[in-house]
């Protein structure tokens, strides 16, 4: 599709996206700084959400407030979908999809893999993706049609094609104890065929690792838009592909290069 034709605004579309990208970076890093300051401080307030396995901290909420506050003051016509506060509808065609802290379980335990994820869509198509990993000081970014980068250097997905040489990541849903579609069947079917498997605890970071080739692939089910909006664009712009593998568990995807995605698709237990 011709990206140019989609924009109705008089400002040049690459200027709009550049401005949005810069703001998304700035606000993701500001939230990341807050996360670093409070990390392992020993007195972070916590609550549970959908189940006892699903936690939220005061830092998740503070980061979402901070990011949404910036969006609504700089872009009042843009809508926002935030994990902690839901939909904030506005009049325009732009929508920011925000996971203020992806990897909350890690964060609350004092484990250092967590990140801020901000994806920005125009008429439903993601234009900009930013994932900032504060503890590692890694900034992953992508703009539609312009490639993906890590700390300013272009990244590409892995070139491996043989599953036995691959290290993949996956995850398990918060309702794994009550819903039998919990990925354990896929895990048993796929892991014996791999060099290695990882469970980082952050879907957005997993996708960035696929984009940069640190991981050869990733699959997970029951993800939400804020987990993947930025990361999917980062993978696609790094030359990777994303394929959905079922439609009865929210967002359920495989990511990697074409060969790895197809090999994983073949092994997944079909609904």
Catalog residues that contact Ca ion under the rule CB under 5 A: 83, 99, 101-102, 227
- Terminal CA-to-CA distance of the chain, rounded, Å? 32
- Per-residue binding string, ligand IPD, 40-79, x by CB under 6 A, is ----------------------------------------
Q: Residue 250: which region, alpha, beta or left (left: phi > 0; alpha: psi -120 to 50)? A: left
Is 227 a binder of ligand IPD (CB under 6 A)?
yes
- Per-residue binding string, ligand IPD, 192-211, x by CB under 6 A, is ---------xxx--------
- Please identify, using beta-carbon distances, which residue of 3 and 66 lies nearer to ligand IPD: 66
Looking at beta carbons, which residue is closest to Ca ion?
Answer: 102
* Of 111, 27, 113, 14, nearest in space to 65 by CA: 27
The CA–CA distances, whole Å, from 204 to 41, 98, 128 equal 24, 11, 14
**Six-digit token pair at 87?**
């939909």
CB 67 within 8 A of CB 25: no
d(CA 206, CA 108): 19
- For residue 223, the minimal CB distance to ligand IPD (Å) is 6
Backbone phi, psi, residue 169, to 5°: -125, 160
Is 213 a binder of ligand IPD (CB under 6 A)?
no
- For residue 113, the minimal CB distance to Ca ion (Å) is 12
* Of 206, 246, 241, 200, nearest in space to 222 by CA: 246
Of residues 163-182, which lie at the interface with ligand IPD (CB under 6 A)? 171, 173
Is 116 a binder of ligand IPD (CB under 6 A)?
no
- For residue 257, the minimal CB distance to ligand IPD (Å) is 22
- For residue 14, the minimal CB distance to ligand IPD (Å) is 31
Residues forming contacts to ligand IPD in the complex (CB under 6 A) are 99, 102-105, 171, 173, 201-203, 220, 223, 227
């Amino acid at each position: 599709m011709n990206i140019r034709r989609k924009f109705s605004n008089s400002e040049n579309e690459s200027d709009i996206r550049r401005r949005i990208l810069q703001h998304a970076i700035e606000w993701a890093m500001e939230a990341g700084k807050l996360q670093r300051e409070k990390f392992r401080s020993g007195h972070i307030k916590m609550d549970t959400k959908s189940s006892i396995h699903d936690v939220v901290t005061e830092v998740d909420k503070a980061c979402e407030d901070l990011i949404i506050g910036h969006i609504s003051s700089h872009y009042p016509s843009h809508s926002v979908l935030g994990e902690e506060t839901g939909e904030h509808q506005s009049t325009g065609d732009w929508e920011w999809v925000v996971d203020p802290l992806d990897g909350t379980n890690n964060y609350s335990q004092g484990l250092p893999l967590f990140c801020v994820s901000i994806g920005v869509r125009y008429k439903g198509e993601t234009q900009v993706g930013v994932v900032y990993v504060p503890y590692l000081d890694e900034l992953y970014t992508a703009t539609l049609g312009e490639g993906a980068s890590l700390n300013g250097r272009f990244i590409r997905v892995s070139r491996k094609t043989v599953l036995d040489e691959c290290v993949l990541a996956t995850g398990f849903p918060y309702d794994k104890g009550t819903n039998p579609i919990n990925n354990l069947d896929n895990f048993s079917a796929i892991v014996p065929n791999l060099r290695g498997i990882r469970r980082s605890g952050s879907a957005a970071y997993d996708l960035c690792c696929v984009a940069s080739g640190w991981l050869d692939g990733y699959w997970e089910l029951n993800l939400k838009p804020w987990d993947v909006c930025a990361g999917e664009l980062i993978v696609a712009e790094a030359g990777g592909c994303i394929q959905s593998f079922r439609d009865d568990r929210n967002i359920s995807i495989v990511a990697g290069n074409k060969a790895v995605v197809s090999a994983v698709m073949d092994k997944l237990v079909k609904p």
